[in-house]
Amino acid sequence: MKRRHRMNNYKLIIFDLDGTLADTSPGILNSIRYAQKMMHLPEITLEQMYSHVGPPMDESYARNFGLSGDRLRQAVEYHKEYAVKQGYKEIELYPHITDLLDKLKAQGKHTAVATLKAHQTAVKIFDTFGLSDKFDIVTGVDTKAPKTKAQLLEYCLEKSGCDKSQAVLIGDSKYDAIGAKEAGIDFIAVTYGFGFKTEEDAKEFPCCAVCEDVMQIEKFLCE
């Protein structure tokens, strides 16, 4: 684990979902396949499909399928339709995530999720995997909160009543790092997800720690 500085006074721990709390790629890939089928979209490479994990959905469909306007909005709606009906079950929590969340709650921390995934899908995931009671705040792109990562983080700050200096975001991609910077909070990068693959990748962005697994997150935050 690479540290730049160490703080034990975080009161609000915010998690990204895809590639941070869980491997959601099977559900995401099947949601793309469903949108392709319903809209007769062309085949794309597996690498392109994996590039949908992390960025906003509309950005991914525009980039990989060249969609815009009503066609783009329809593709995103089909993606969400599958995700809410079936895709939310097609995930796997990363090892030790539940233990980490329990330890944070035992220490009196506020826990939150800020995801660019649809709010309804995120809630169904947490209900299905028994995580609903482990988060004080869950916000996604189709809630009343705005849609950028930074604005979702600001929503978490507002709901928790915590100061920016008391909050940290944990995420696996540049979208998380940029969102944390724009929101003015600290950032912990993880390299076990879909975005950052190496410590060097993560260090291109401001971060207070780079963690290779969940146990390293726990060590940084809880010890």
Q: What is the pLDDT along the chain (223 residues), one digit of tens a residue?
A: 655 554 568 999 999 999 999 999 999 999 999 999 999 999 999 999 999 988 888 899 999 999 999 999 999 999 999 999 999 999 999 999 999 999 999 999 999 999 998 888 999 999 999 999 999 999 998 745 447 999 999 999 999 999 999 999 999 999 999 999 999 999 999 999 999 999 999 999 999 999 999 999 999 999 8
In this structure, are residues 10 and 104 in contact, taking their beta carbons and an 8 Å threshold? no
> What is the Cα–Cα distance from 98 to 189, expressed in whole angstroms?
19
> What is the Cα–Cα distance from 199 to 189, expressed in whole angstroms?
9
pLDDT, residue 33, reads 98
What is the count of structural domains for the chain? 2
Residues 176 and 127 reside in one and the same domain: yes
Which structural domain, as residue segments, surrounds residue 171?
Answer: 2-24+91-222
Where among 89, 108, 142 does a domain terminate? 89
Residues 127 and 179 reside in one and the same domain: yes
Residues 17 and 104 reside in one and the same domain: yes
Domain harbouring 196, CATH code:
3.40.50.1000
Residues 203 and 123 reside in one and the same domain: yes
pLDDT, residue 143, reads 47
Q: What is the pTM of this model?
A: 0.90
β-pair partners for 3: 209
Tell me whether strands 92-93 and 22-23 are parallel, antiparallel or unpaired: antiparallel
pLDDT, residue 2, reads 55
Residues 142 and 192 reside in one and the same domain: yes
Two tokens, residue 111 = 């826990």
Signed CA dihedral, 142, 54, 20, 26: sign only: positive
